Amino acid sequence: MPETHPNPVTGKALLQKVKELANLPRREKAKRCGYYTVTKDGQTRVNLTEFYDAVLAAKDVPLDPGGSKDGRGREPTYRVSVHKNGQIVIGSTYTQEMSLKPGDEFEIKLGYKHIHLKQIDSDATDIDEDAVA
């Protein structure tokens, strides 16, 4: 008997089914929602990881927030460090995410263990960048 893959329930239907099966153990919930495989020798294997991922996706919880769109390059860490020359450089990924353009100016206000950048001549709100010491 070849390995079979059932059609798992997704989206709002999955959330409703999980609610209906609330009294069952998690493996049984996953199985009844279609998150299992039957192997060649007839054993049923429940895939809890796929089940949990589907539940999170149905609740609109991003599994890979800020992930690279094309799979190239480094992913942003949202951290910067002070270079040997004393400068802090914020990469283009962050400036693009904040919709900044060349020539945008900021007023720098130093706080306790943080830096506030307030955009000049704009209605933008304060942008906080943590300085790592």
Residues 6+ apart with CB under 8 A from 27: 46, 48
For residues 97 and 90, what is the distance between their CA atoms, to the nearest angstrom?
12
Backbone phi, psi, residue 58, to 5°: -65, -30
Beta strands (DSSP E) in the chain are 36-38, 44-46, 106-111, 114-119, 127-130
19-23, 25-29, 120-124: which has the minimum mean pLDDT?
120-124
pTM of the predicted protein model: 0.46
Q: Give the pLDDT confidence score for residue 27 in this predicted structure.
A: 92
pLDDT tens by residue, 75-131: 777 778 888 898 888 877 888 888 888 888 888 898 888 888 888 875 544 455 554
Q: What does the domain layout of the chain look like in residue ranges?
A: 11-58, 74-133
Percent of the chain, pLDDT > 70? 78
Three-point CA angle 92, 96, 102, nearest 5°: 75
Q: Give the pLDDT confidence score for residue 1 in this predicted structure.
A: 41
Q: Give the pLDDT confidence score for residue 19 in this predicted structure.
A: 92
